[in-house]
Amino acid sequence: MKTIHTLEDVRGDNFKVIIKHWDKRIGLQYRHESRQAFLETIWEMSLTAFDKPREVQVVIDAGDRLYISVGSPGFVSFGGQEAQLNGMKFPLKEWIHTHPFGEAYFSSRDMTTIGMYAKYLDTATVLGDGEIMTMHMFIGPHKEHYQEYSQWVWVNSSEEEE
């Protein structure tokens, strides 16, 4: 995974990376820590790794590889970062992204994205300020597609230790 120190957001504006190798930190948490620590790291990088809080997305493919990108404070895509998608294998295990403005919910844009990939996506997760919302995609006995949602408030693992 290549780390770029000056990136371009979806509007074509350049922005700075404050925490070098922010994407590698996310990858290390995925490989070596709990799911909670992994999600907390994604959230933390969304808030602190750049010149201002920005949406971060992580896609986990069928081969258990991570594809990570960063966007503006209110939108993330792989636009301008498409080279990172080389080798991605479907079906996708999970699409995770952040809402650095605070709330964990699936926006209409998120629902459009999920709708486009629902047949090839097991789980979608959005992280907000202390909140997680997850949608699991299923196929029923008559080949009907349906989703189950869960939402909860998280406690940072560092807070648990205090």
Quick check: is 1 in a domain?
no
| 104: its two tokens | 């964990």
145-153: strand order across its sheet: 66-70, 56-60, 92-98, 121-128, 131-139, 145-153
Residues present in the chain in total: 162
Range 84-98 average pLDDT:
93
Range 35-46 average pLDDT:
95
Range 103-123 average pLDDT:
93
Question: In CATH, what number is assigned to the domain containing residue 150?
Answer: 3.40.140
Sign of CA dihedral 153, 158, 161, 162: negative
| Residue type, position 40, single letter | E
Quick check: is 31 in a domain?
yes
> What pTM, to 2 d.p., does this model score?
0.86
Quick check: is 39 in a domain?
yes
Beta strands in 46-157 (DSSP E): 56-60, 66-70, 92-98, 121-128, 131-139, 145-153
Quick check: is 27 in a domain?
yes
In tens, the pLDDT along 10-33 reads 555 678 899 999 999 999 999 887
Range 64-87 average pLDDT:
87
| 95: its two tokens | 């699409």
Q: How many CB atoms within 10 Å of residue 3?
A: 13
Range 139-148 average pLDDT:
83
- Full residue range of the structural domain in which residue 138 is found: 6-161
Beta strands in 82-156 (DSSP E): 92-98, 121-128, 131-139, 145-153
Domain total for the chain? 1
Range 4-13 average pLDDT:
52
